[in-house]
Amino acid sequence: GTFVTTYLSPRDYHRVHMPCNGILREMIYVPGDLFSVNHLTAQNVPNLFARNERVICLFDTEFGPMAQILVGATIVGSIETVWAGTITPPREGIIKRWTWPAGENDGSVALLKGQEMGRFKLGSTVINLFAPGKV
């Protein structure tokens, strides 16, 4: 598939917006390390983004499934989403999973392109994944 990795330094804007319209299907919190995610560290720590704490948000979009992954880092005080509030801390060390219905008017979370979906309390990294040949 296609992916985009966006590094947010401490001086950057820390809110995360939708790259396209999407309906939230699932959110997964994965505990992990809190290595720095700057360019130098990303080059030298194997599998950095798979090792750090992260919140994985899975959406249905016009391009097919999309994952928007909010990766924690050193000094990141918390990761929040607009629909669930603060996800971390607390750091309990266990994987957590939430699901949402797909239909309208039944508790689903629909977000528009450009709409805020989450934020970091300081910088980190966002990874967007799309199905092959869709974007």
**Per-residue pLDDT tens over the stretch 42-95:** 999 999 999 999 999 999 999 999 999 999 988 776 899 999 999 987 778 899
Contacts of 96 (CB under 8 A, 6+ apart): 28, 29
Residue 27 near residue 33 (C-beta atoms within 8 A) = no
Q: Please give the residue that has the higher pLDDT: either 22 or 93.
A: 22
Minimum mean pLDDT range among 8-12, 27-31, 79-83, 104-108 = 104-108
Please state the rounded mean pLDDT for residues 22-47: 93
Task: Give the C-alpha separation, 128 to 86, whole Å.
Answer: 20
pTM of the prediction? 0.90
pLDDT score of 123:
65
Query: Could you tell me what percent of the chain has a pLDDT over 90?
Result: 59
Domain boundaries, the chain: 2-130
Task: Give the C-alpha separation, 29 to 45, whole Å.
Answer: 21
pLDDT score of 121:
83
Task: Give the C-alpha separation, 96 to 102, whole Å.
Answer: 20
pLDDT score of 135:
79
Asked if pLDDT for residue 103 goes beyond 70, the answer is no
